[in-house]
Amino acid sequence: MTLLVVRLRFTMWRTAMSRSSLHLTSSIVGGLVALGVVALLGPGIAVLSTRPLRLTALTVPLFATFTLMWVVLSLVATGVDNVLDPARFTVLPLRARELARGLLAAAYTGIPAVMFVLLSLAQVAAWGAHPAALPAALVAAVLGTLTAVLGSRAVTSALARVMGSRGGRLVGAVAVSLVTLLPLVLNLVLTTGAVGPDLRTFDAGPSARVASWTPVGWAWGMPYDVATGRWAAAGVHLVLAVLLVGLLWEVWVRQLARTLTSPMTAGGGQRIGRARLLPAVLGTGPTATIAARRIRAWYRDSRLVSIALRTAVLPVFFVVQSALTGAGAFAGTGVVTLAVFAGLTLMNDLAFDGPAWWVHVSTGVRGWEDRLGRALASTIVFGPVLVLTFVVSASLGLLHPVVPWASVSLAAFLASLGLAVGVGAVLPGTAPRTGGNPFAASSGGAAQGCLTAVVSFVGPLVLVLPVGVAAVLTAGSPVGRWVVLVVAGAYGAVLLAAGVVLGGRRLDRRAPEMLGQLASAQI
């Protein structure tokens, strides 16, 4: 059974790759990136064996963090893939326990999991200088990776249950969006506390001890306990880690059993009043109608709600961090990042529509109306958030000087919008399935994901750079900075117009082909 599931996974993988060259390329690129990360991090961790114990202890907080990130990230998008959705096995006469064994084995075949296992082996090597700790490190590697993989499965499947109803999905989306910001909070705490660690005197011991008493650190703490001769602590950690793995396994099996007997169906009648406000404000032309629908989606569609929340909460951290550290650059970067993210949310907007986009094709909507409507909706949703963040940061005195930062933020928002509506008309990207778990992960998405990630990262940087340079150069000039602000606005508007026109033309020309792409854009 186990072998069968693993083989099924490879078969599906192979089919997906042979059906799309983009998928193949991205799998190879993803594999190479993963290999690169392992090649860089792995030796870095292994070389800790030649360092004093106080530095080798770093593996404990490091791998505890990896484990935590694994579970948290699997909620967002990347950690788990749902090629083997348990719901697909419901009609087969299978016991949950058998299936769970198979799915667990299959989970270990994914690129991220292989990466994690390799790194955990580097962790074993790191304890090479302490022969007594070696077996403990090996056990830690096994229990630690199990904690991560089972933890992500248990948490996602338990959450998926909550997300079964639309109301639950909204609440869940809000909760999880905030949880996924946990690493940022961690970063906030760390950067305010620690000041540039000096390797000659740095002692990782205390943080290792703290990390080893968190659930994600129980397993990873064992080699350190043994190396420092605290056998009792090692024993307790071993028992706790085994119990945790057992508990996560049971939770997961139980969730699987429930999925097998009652596959999830979205329920709950959401009733909607007659909208009067949006049509009254925007009018009823095609562009306005599309904008109104997208605005409604930002608060009705749990998939978008979670994105909106994360996008909107993100800058708060930058601003808080800036206020705590007194470094104004953080606040400025935060506002600009928000501007870029808010613009780029349109990148995979078509994927969120999915096959339903046929309505636009069939009614003969022009491409530019589609593009402009979406840009308008994003401006109405994120514009106020952006302005508010900017005004708050500025009034706290964190944005200094104000006008150049305004120029860069404005250009960043408009340029990102333009980039997203332009590129989004060529690469629709992927989105979670309509009405599905908003955190449903994708493996097929990795395909275009890689390409769009590069475009989303490099694009805004390149487009905003000229404005940034101009803003810095004129920061001292009282007249010059205002000129730059006006020019930045005009420049952004031109980019947005270019995105709308070019993206629109592309959609006009290749609407049926886009519809074909969208058929498989939801995962």
Largest separation between any pair of C-alpha atoms in the chain: 76
CA distances from 412 to 315, 350, 380 (A): 15, 22, 16
280: its two tokens: 């009254």
Q: Residue from 128, 435, 468, 489 that binds other proteins (CB under 8 A)?
A: 435
CA distances from 508 to 266, 364, 423 (A): 34, 9, 14
Applying CB under 8 A, which part among 33-41, 243-251, 288-296, 480-488 lies near other proteins?
288-296
Closest to other proteins by CB, 77 or 288: 288
Phi, psi of 522, rounded to the nearest 5 degrees:
-105, 135
Closest to other proteins by CB, 193 or 269: 269
**Size of residue set near other proteins by CB under 8 A:** 42
The answer to whether the Cα torsion of 296, 314, 37, 135 is positive or negative is negative
User: What is the C-alpha separation between 311 and 32, in angstroms, rounded?
Assistant: 29
Minimum gap (Å) between residue 356 Cβ and other proteins: 5
Closest to other proteins by CB, 52 or 279: 279
294: its two tokens: 């997208």
Closest to other proteins by CB, 163 or 248: 163
Q: Residue from 163, 226, 234, 365 that binds other proteins (CB under 8 A)?
A: 365
CA distances from 228 to 18, 127, 355 (A): 52, 12, 60
Interaction of residue 281 with other proteins, rule CB under 8 A? no
Interaction of residue 135 with other proteins, rule CB under 8 A? no
Interaction of residue 265 with other proteins, rule CB under 8 A? no
Closest to other proteins by CB, 153 or 360: 360
Q: Residue from 173, 301, 375, 521 that binds other proteins (CB under 8 A)?
A: 301
Of 68, 54, 43, 53, the residue nearest 123 (C-alpha): 43
Q: Which ranges constitute the DSSP H helices of 163-217?
A: 166-179, 182-193, 205-212
Phi-psi region of 259 (alpha: psi -120 to 50; beta: other; left: phi over 0): alpha
Residue where the block lists tokens 């930045």 = 488
Q: Residue from 1, 189, 266, 458 that binds other proteins (CB under 8 A)?
A: 266
Q: Is 93 exposed, middle or buried (0-12, 13-18, 19+ CB in 10 A)?
A: exposed
The helix/strand/coil state of 428 is coil
Applying CB under 8 A, which part among 105-113, 117-125, 284-292, 477-485 lies near other proteins?
284-292
Minimum gap (Å) between residue 491 Cβ and other proteins: 32
> Which residues are registered as beta bridge partners of 267?
165
User: What is the C-alpha separation between 317 and 313, in angstroms, rounded?
Assistant: 7
Minimum gap (Å) between residue 298 Cβ and other proteins: 10
Minimum gap (Å) between residue 456 Cβ and other proteins: 25
Of 42, 35, 313, 339, the residue nearest 181 (C-alpha): 313
Interaction of residue 432 with other proteins, rule CB under 8 A? no
Closest to other proteins by CB, 355 or 468: 355
User: What is the C-alpha separation between 23 and 445, in angstroms, rounded?
Assistant: 8
Interaction of residue 355 with other proteins, rule CB under 8 A? yes
What residues from 6 to 35 belong to the interface with other proteins (CB under 8 A)? Answer: 19
Interaction of residue 300 with other proteins, rule CB under 8 A? yes
Beta carbons within 10 angstroms of residue 444's beta carbon: 23
Closest to other proteins by CB, 241 or 507: 507
Q: Residue from 290, 338, 376, 507 that binds other proteins (CB under 8 A)?
A: 290
Applying CB under 8 A, which part among 84-92, 181-189, 197-205, 296-304 lies near other proteins?
296-304
What residues from 109 to 128 belong to the interface with other proteins (CB under 8 A)? Answer: none
Interaction of residue 372 with other proteins, rule CB under 8 A? no
What residues from 157 to 216 belong to the interface with other proteins (CB under 8 A)? Answer: 166
Interaction of residue 256 with other proteins, rule CB under 8 A? no
DSSP-assigned letters across all residues of 64-111: HHHHHHHHHHHHHSSS---TT-GGGGTTS---HHHHHHHHHHHHTTSH
Closest to other proteins by CB, 435 or 466: 435
Minimum gap (Å) between residue 171 Cβ and other proteins: 17
Q: Which ranges constitute the DSSP H helices of 396-479?
A: 402-423, 446-474
Applying CB under 8 A, which part among 71-79, 222-230, 349-357, 451-459 lies near other proteins?
349-357
Beta strands in 279-407 (DSSP E): none
CA distances from 45 to 121, 213, 286, 464 (A): 10, 21, 57, 37
Applying CB under 8 A, which part among 4-12, 359-367, 376-384, 411-419 lies near other proteins?
359-367
What residues from 473 to 512 belong to the interface with other proteins (CB under 8 A)? Answer: 511-512
Closest to other proteins by CB, 203 or 513: 513
Q: Residue from 229, 273, 326, 478 that binds other proteins (CB under 8 A)?
A: 273
Q: Does residue 440 contact residue 522 with C-beta atoms inside 8 Å? A: no
Q: Residue from 78, 191, 228, 434 that binds other proteins (CB under 8 A)?
A: 434
Residues that bind other proteins in the complex, under the rule CB under 8 A: 19, 166, 266-275, 284-286, 288-290, 293, 296-297, 300-301, 353-356, 358-365, 434-435, 511-513, 515-516
